[in-house]
Each structure stands twice: as structure tokens, then as C-alpha cells.
Amino acid sequence: MSNIRIDCSFPGGNIIIEDIDGDVVTLRQDRRDTEGFWFYWYFRARGAAGRTLDFRFTDGKPVGVRGPAISLDEGDTWAWASGITDIANSFTFVFPEGADAVRFSFGMPYTQANWDRFIARLGDHPALSGDELCRSRKGRPVEMLRVGRLDGDPLARVAVTCRHHCCEMMASYAVEGLIESVLTNDDTGRWLRENIEMLVVPFVDKDGVEEGDQGKNRRPRDHNRDYDAESIYPETKAISELLPEWSGGRLRMTLDLHCPGRSGDWNEHVYQVGRDRPEMWHEQQRFGGILEASREGALPYSAANNLPFGEAWNAGQNYDLGCSFSRWASGLPDVQLATSFEIPYANASGAEVNAATARAFGRDLGRALHRYLEQAL
């Protein structure tokens, strides 16, 4: 009898085991209340040290273009299994001798524990203030962070949201880099702390993040389609009530960070999702040009890769599913730019996406934000 033990009993975990037969594990992602196919999974294997196991998925091809992300230290650090390949329905792993527990995931998971470590690393800072946005449906505290000029008299305010789709974890590392850009002692950090107050909601779907849901296309609607007149989620309701009040007529920019699909034309580039209003698309392209010129990190970005409204999936029928955060925010008074970015899970124009490169892209966003707002104010 096999002594292999596989589970997902930790924050963010997601898997359904169908069978373990010798060195072959048959399994699938738990889609729960997701409408249609999606690909998030995250599990732990124990009792396989020194063995080679073949993991075979029965629900589509949920293994990404760099294979699984692998952690040998209970999820503290992650590495991709391979270079660029293609999506797949299986992978093989040679367990090192002494590897008592190995974690595998579609991406590099980011949960409450990661955020807590990040905030602890920042320490006390006069330009940083944490608060609670609301409680989730299941009673979890939903974090809200203010960073920058906190005395109530900034030239402009910026709102940043992440994890409207809870499985899109690579965007969370970019949020860390963006926050770091405000606190760094360089020209960008000093200017932002003097002039900008930034409000960050790192986990819009807090329950989904901790419970390992897909989040995308959740029934009856996902969090990024919940900005119609009557929001059904506490987080989206709290955001839609807070931002107009917090703005004070100074909210100039909103930034919503996402991850796209698994592979293909629009899933392996960093890009902005074009708004349907020409004046907003103009601002997105202008910000994109500044970001392109400001980039110092390893992840390529070209404004030419931005997805105009009406092309590919970014078309009118997508709006029929409900109102997204960026679409809602673009109608707020004084908002000059309401945009969302798609940051690939693993491969961005040939460059590897990982915790470090995604953080560096967040710092690139901070530099671009500085230059864009300095021109606008």
C-alpha cells in the first residue's frame, strides 16, 4: 500500500484526488462554484521522498507554461519546474531524498500569511497606515492600507485593488513592489510621499484567497462583476461606498491588478485592458507610454500590447456579465485614469514571472505613476 499522502488543508489549498496507484496520482482542480473551466490548484505531497511521481489531471490542461510552481519549504519560497513549454494535463516530479513535504501549484501562492510577512518587513513608517475595510462574508478581516501623504492634504489620491479574482496571485507580488516604491528613499518615493495618498485593498475576495477558490466566473457573479447598483459582496460594497467619500475630489487614478489566462496571445504579455471610452483609452495609452519608458525591471511591457475595447475577449458581451471595478471607477468624478493590468502567471514576452520579477514590475508601476501624475497635477 502506498504511503503517499496528498492534501490541500492549508490557506489557498485546492485539489481533488481521484486515485493514487503506485507512482501515478490522478487528480483535478476543485472548480466549486465556478461557471465553466478554470485552472487554479495548490496541493502538498508527503511520503514520497526519493520517488518519482506522475501527476495526471483529468479536467482539461491546468498545468501552465513553465510547469508547476514548486516549494520545498512549506510554501515560503517557490520556483518553476521548467522553462517555457506549453500548457499540459500532467507533470512528473523527482522528489529529493529527505523531502518530507513538497507543495505544488499552478502559480506561486500568495495568501494572508504572505501579506502579514510583508507588512512586518516594512515595520513602522510614518507614511504607512493599516486599517480594516470590512469583514468578509465569512467574518474575515479585509485589509486596507494607506500609504504616502497621510495628513489629509495630498495633491492627488490613487486607489489600488487586487485579487478581485482570488486565484490571480502573481498580481499580489506586484502590489508589494508598488507599495515599496512609495516608501523607497529615491526621487519617486520622495515625490509620492509628499504629494500622493494611495489606498490599497490587497484582497478584494478575501474568503476566496484563503479557501483556495478559483474566483473567476464565480456563480452567481465574481467580485469583478459586482459594481452594479446592488453589490452582493461586502468587499465590493465597502469599496463602492468608501472611494467617493475618501476621494474628497482628489481621486485621480485607480489601478486594478489581475492575472490573465494560461497561455496564448493575450495571456503571455503584460497589458492594460482598454476601456470603452475614447478619452480613457487615450489616458491608458499615455500612461502605458510612460511605463514603457520608465521600466527597469525584468518584465517587458509595451503599450502596443494593450488590448483595445472591442477586440478579443474585451468586447461588449463581457460587459453583460456585470460592472467591473475599473468600469465603475472610470465614472467617478475627477478620475483621470481608471485602468486594469493583466500580469501573466509565468511567462511575460519570454521573461520569467516570479515573486521577484513581479515585485520589480510593481516598482516600475510606481515610477510610471510618479511621472504620469507629476505631469497631470
2 — pLDDT class (breaks 50, 70, 90): low
* Inter-CA distances, 294 with 34, 96, 160, 219, 335, Å: 38, 42, 19, 40, 23
CATH T-level assignment (fold) for domain 5-105: Immunoglobulin-like (2.60.40)
Architecture, CATH, for domain 112-376: 3-Layer(aba) Sandwich (3.40)
258 in Cβ contact with 342 (< 8 Å): yes
User: Looking at residue 1, what is its pLDDT?
Assistant: 41
Average pLDDT, the chain: 96
Residue 159 pairs in a beta bridge with 199, 254
Is the per-residue pLDDT at 319 higher than 80? no
pLDDT, tens digit, 9 for 90 and up, residues 183-220: 999 999 999 999 999 999 999 999 999 999 999 999 99
pLDDT, tens digit, 9 for 90 and up, residues 230-248: 899 999 999 999 999 999 9
For CATH 2.60.40.3120, the residue range(s) in the chain are: 5-105
Query: If you average pLDDT over residues 41-70, what whole number do you get?
Result: 98
pLDDT, tens digit, 9 for 90 and up, residues 338-358: 999 999 999 999 999 999 999
At residue 7, the 3 state secondary structure works out as: strand
Is the per-residue pLDDT at 316 higher than 90? no
87 in Cβ contact with 63 (< 8 Å): yes
State the helix-helix crossing angle for 170-183 and 355-376, rounded to 10 degrees. 50
For CATH 3.40.630.10, the residue range(s) in the chain are: 112-376
User: Looking at residue 62, what is its pLDDT?
Assistant: 98
pTM over cut 0.75: yes
pLDDT, tens digit, 9 for 90 and up, residues 104-133: 999 999 999 999 999 999 999 999 999 999
Share of the chain above pLDDT 70, in %: 99
